[in-house]
Amino acid sequence: MSVTPNEPSGAPAPSATDPFAGVDPCDLVAEETRLAFNLTDPESKQVGEALVCRFRIEGDTLRSSYAVGIELFATRGIDEVVAPDIVQIPDIGEHTAIQFSGANGGCAVGLGVGVGSRVDVTAVGGDYGPACDIVSALAAAVEPAIP
């Protein structure tokens, strides 16, 4: 899947205590990226410590349908991910990257932001292999917009 990366949107500058101050995670996903990935129904909400944007990918079958998330953790770095299968992957743009199984199953890519923050891109549902392909491509597409 080939996607044009997002252009920085002039989002507010990060603060020393919260690199995501004033950032809506849904705004990290440009309209052309949403269309390229067939992402529907964006919804921002607080989930535990994370500010999250949830989307859906409605495939032809359950095996090709996913709940996709962009999750901002202002006080949790990639070194604080708890998963049985964390794998260091090549940096994505300017951000250190890891891949792991999400807490609810599925596949996730974490992007380090500074020393103690991160952005997770997740896909839950459907088949695991395609879920990992989706989150890897989506992480690359949103990375330029991450503070």
pLDDT at 2: 41
pLDDT at 138: 97
pLDDT at 114: 86
Tens digits of per-residue pLDDT, 22-49?
889 999 999 999 999 999 979 999 998 8
pLDDT at 103: 72
Q: Which portions of the chain are predicted below pLDDT 50?
A: 1-15
pLDDT at 16: 55
pLDDT at 10: 41
pLDDT at 15: 46
Hey, how many other C-beta atoms are within 10 angstroms of the C-beta on 59? 15
